Structures are given as C-alpha cells and as structure tokens.
Copies of this chain bind each other. A is one copy, B any other.
Amino acid sequence: MESKKMQGESVPAKLLELRESIDNLDAAIILMLAERFRCTRVIGSLKAEHDLPPSDPDREVQQVVRLRALAANAGLAPDFAEGFHQYVVREVVRHHEQTRRDRAARP
C-alpha cells in the first residue's frame, strides 16, 4: 500500500468522476426510453385502430440483428444488447395489448 499511497488516495476522486459520467448517461438513456415509449404509444393506438397485431416478429428479428451489430461495433456484448431490447419490447407489447383491450371495452 505504501508505494500506492498517492494512487490509493486518488481512487475515490476518480470513482466519483466516473460515477458522474454514469449518472449523466443513465439520465440520457431514461429520457430516450421515455421518448421511445411516446413513439410506441402512438403505434399502439394505430395498431388497435386498424386491428393490426400487437407484436411483429419479423420487425423484431431485424431490430435484434441490427442492434447486435451496433453493440459489437461499440464494444458492448451483443447478448446484453439483445436482452435489453427484449426487456423493452416485452413492455411495448404489453402496452399494445392493453391499448387494444381498452379500445375493445369502450361503450
């Protein structure tokens, strides 16, 4: 530890600095997810109105292929990117199904 004293003392500062970047990135991601759901809410209404299915497996396959390639290029694990996309799409389909049920229940 003696020889690393200076280095050791600078760790909390470096950690705090990186955590500030992470907090900024997280905020940006959350806001972009909010914008993404604004788009899918409109899509959900259009799909319910025109009796289109809530999910679109062909589109999802295309999205996954593209996002895996984007992730790999950026040094992000493609499986992680695909898992993230699945988490988002599950929520979107749940919204679309709810929108369809809400429309069907209207007097």
Which A residues form the contact surface with B (CB < 8 A)? 8, 11, 14-15, 18-19, 21-23, 25-40, 42-43, 46, 49-50, 52, 59, 63, 66-67, 70-71, 74-77, 80-81, 83-85, 87-88, 91
In the complex, the answer to whether A28 meets B32 with C-beta atoms within 8 Å is: yes
A26 in contact with B59 given A76-B37, A80-B91, A83-B87 (CB within 8 Å): no
Bound Cα distance A52, B38 (Å): 40
In the complex, the answer to whether A30 meets B63 with C-beta atoms within 8 Å is: no
In the complex, the answer to whether B81 meets A33 with C-beta atoms within 8 Å is: yes
Bound Cα distance A71, B75 (Å): 27
A31 in contact with B70 given A26-B85, A42-B18 (CB within 8 Å): yes
| Known A14-B42, A31-B70; further 17 A-B contacts with Cβ < 8 A | A11-B49, A25-B39, A26-B67, A27-B67, A27-B70, A28-B32, A29-B29, A29-B33, A30-B67, A30-B81, A32-B32, A33-B81, A34-B71, A34-B74, A34-B75, A83-B87, A84-B87
